[in-house]
Structure formats: structure tokens, C-alpha cells
Amino acid sequence: KKKARESCSLPEPSWEERLANAVTPLWRLPYQEQLQVKYESQRKILQTLASRLEELGIGAQKPGGLCCPLQPVVPSPTINGYRNKSTFSVNRGPDGNPKTVGLYVGTGRERNIVCVKANHMQNIPSKHNQVAQCYEEFICRSPLDSCILFHEGGHWRELVVRTTSGGHTMAIITFHPQQLGQEALATQKALLKEFFTCGPGAVCALTSLYFQESTMTRCSHEQSPYQLLHGAPHIFEELLGLKFRISPDAFFQVNTAGAEVLYQAVGELCQATGDTVLLDICCGTGTIGLSLAHRVSKVIGVEVVEKAIEDAEWNAAFNGISNCEFHSGKAEAVLPQLLASWEDARPLVAVVNPSRAGLHYRVVRAIRNCRSIRRLLYISCKPEGEAMRNFLELCCPPDPRKKLAGEPFAPVLAIPFDMFPHTVHCELVLLFTR
């Protein structure tokens, strides 16, 4: 590549272009072409699934070698600046400034990481960049170093910015305490609060300012509590006519307008009737279940993040929804208990929306072994990853050795939703029935 570049005398791409190419590789393409690229990638995933199912002796391939019909990619209503959550890192910039706040180009393995400001990124709203710029100004004034490698010391780390369509802005700053005592920590928190309320950072008009002391790359509220330095403890979003409360670490689809389209489609695919029970696995703040609650007799939500369950319960109460119950805990611990003794005669439809890690095997097993579940919607942001393992576990023949006694599912329809314009990613909804 380097020789080709030299022979053509092409200029080296700027750092801004390198970042855009890394994070939003489709940014140069017209939007309709982006959708076509994504359709082709989803088609290949379904072809792979069809081949894997054939190896297990299951089902016949559909036209095009697919495991089930694939609909066109549903476009995002918002194409630019759609992200309601951005995570900014602190590291050395192209100019060598170790307190640059931006996104990474390069990898840790190659030891060539450079932190580039994200002002030009098409998927990030200007408000997020404004908060990032103010945070950089604050840490550049601070005598404390940035924490680039934990063992080398330093303190200032990540910034997460969350915004809502109603104009609320939450900033969460991660700080490595190293050997600092409580008094020194209190001083830093006071300086941060002053900067964002009375100083240059006041221009951000933050609704909430949070601070988290963390000695790990990722840290939950239970491991190290989010400390509210200023403003309201939550921000609020409206979705499909409902109001949702969002905590610092609660999951919420990153594209709010796209989420509305996705959840409406999920409602249609559920084919729920007035006596249906909806099982919402990995329910986050309850957005899917609550948006469909008016169509069903009952919603049961399961979620590992305790704060998200608190939000879900508040959301249900605030919106006057009384037919929902939410369970906090790992799905693999909660779900088998819920379903093992299931004797409700009402039809049971499951919606699962796991992280990239997919569903735990015990969750799949509990779903398979519950005869009442005839219809399952699997929403995956990375269907070519661990979700593929789940698809095969759902569809494989009964296996007594793996305690998979239940009748297998079969994929019957796939619909991709473009929740992430300019990137290669899609949210794929796969409908399984049995």
C-alpha cells in the first residue's frame, strides 16, 4: 500500500480523515449506497447461518442461499449527529499533547494509538464535541496528569456524554485516584464542578455532572458508585409518546429516532394479542417492553444493571403502566427460575436484545425448554459474532447431553435496521418460530 501511494504521489490522509475512516468507514458514500453495503453484509451473515444450519442437518436454504427471507435495510430517520451517547478517551494527540480528548486511531497491540479530536465526525452531535472540548480545556489547566497507562500513574481519563432530544446533557468523568487521599479527591471534584457551573464549561449547560473513581477500564455503579457533582440525577427522553428516565450507566439505544422505528417494527413482528405475555430479556430501562405494554396483557423484563431496573420501574410508574414487572440480575440466573415453573396458559413471546457478548447458554436453554415460547425476536448489533452461536443453539436438534429438550426454533424473517449511519454496523432483527 505504501509503495502504491508513493508511486501515485497521493497525499497522506489527515488525522481527521484517518479517524473518520476508522470509526465511520462509509462516510464518503451517499446514504443509499451505505444501505446497499449493509444489505450485502447482512445477506452474507444469513448465508453463513444457512450453511451452518445445513451442516446440522436443519432446514432447506431459501433463495440466494439464505436461511430465511431478508428484507431491505430500514433507513435511519436521522443520518448525521444521531448519537445520543459518545465516549471520549484521553491520550496523546497528533501534536503530542497527552491531554487530548477525542477518539482513537491505531491499536494498543501496534502501540501506535493517537487520540484525535472528533469535531468533524458525522455521527457525533456538536453538543458532545462542545463538552469534550471543555473537558480538554479543564484537564489542560489541571496540574494532574492524564492517565494513559494505569501503571504509569496519572488521573484524568474517559468522558461520556449523553444527550436527549429534549435538550438534556449528562457528562460522566472517569478519574483514576491512584494514591490520592479523600481531601485531594474532594478538591478535584470541587474544581470540576466550579469549571462546569461557573467557569468556561458553563457554556455546556449540563443537566447532570457525574464523577467516577475507577481503577479499571470499565467499572459499574456497584463496583464504584457514580457521584453526582452537579444537577439532576437523571436525564429524560421521549420515545413513542412515553417518557424514559436515564441513569449514567443505563443502556439506551444510541440512535433515538432509529429506536422508535425499530420498536414499532418489533411490536408488529411480535403479533401480540390482548392475552399475550411479553418476555423482555436484557430489557435495559424497559424501553421495548413499556412501548409494547398497551398491546399485551403483561410484560416481564430481566436486566443485569440494577440502576436500569430502577429506571424501568420508574418509567412504568411515571407513564401509568401497571402491567409490567422487572427482575434485576443476570439473565442466566433469573430466567431459568422464571420459566422452569411456567404454567401460565397465555401465549408467551420473547424479545431478546443482548450485548455483543450474546446470550448465556443457560438463557438459550431456558428459552428452548419453555414450551410456551413459540415466537422469539432476537435483536443483535453483531449477528456475525457470539449471536451466531445463539442462533445455532436455538435451532439445533434436541440434545439430552446439553439438556436441550425443547423443540428447536427456525428463522423465518430477517430485517436489518440502520441504527448507525456512516458505520458498517446494523441492528439485525431475526424472527424465530417453532
CA distance 213 to 168: 24
Please tell me whether 253 is known to bind a ligand.
Answer: yes
Please tell me whether 303 is known to bind a ligand.
Answer: yes
Q: Per DSSP, which regions of 106-240 are E strands?
A: 114-116, 156-163, 169-175, 208-213, 227-231, 235-239
Q: What is the DSSP letter of 252?
A: -
Tell me which amino acid residue 411 is: P
Q: What is the DSSP letter of 300?
A: E
Length of the chain, in residues = 434
The active-site residue out of 283, 381, 395, 426 is 381
Tell me which amino acid residue 330 is: K
- Closest residue by Cα to residue 43 from 76, 75, 74, 65: 65
Q: How far apart are the first and last CA of the chain?
A: 50
Please tell me whether 129 is known to bind a ligand.
Answer: no
DSSP, collapsed to helix, strand or coil, labels residue 427 as strand
CA distance 282 to 329: 10
The answer to whether residue 270 is catalytic is no
CA distance 210 to 174: 9
Which residues lie across from 50 on neighbouring strands? Answer: none
DSSP string for residues in 365-383: HHHHH-TTEEEEEEEES-T
CA distance 90 to 146: 7
Give binding residues as ranges. Answer: 253, 303, 353
The binding site for S-adenosyl-L-methionine consists of: 253, 303, 353
Which residues participate in catalysis according to the annotation? Answer: 381
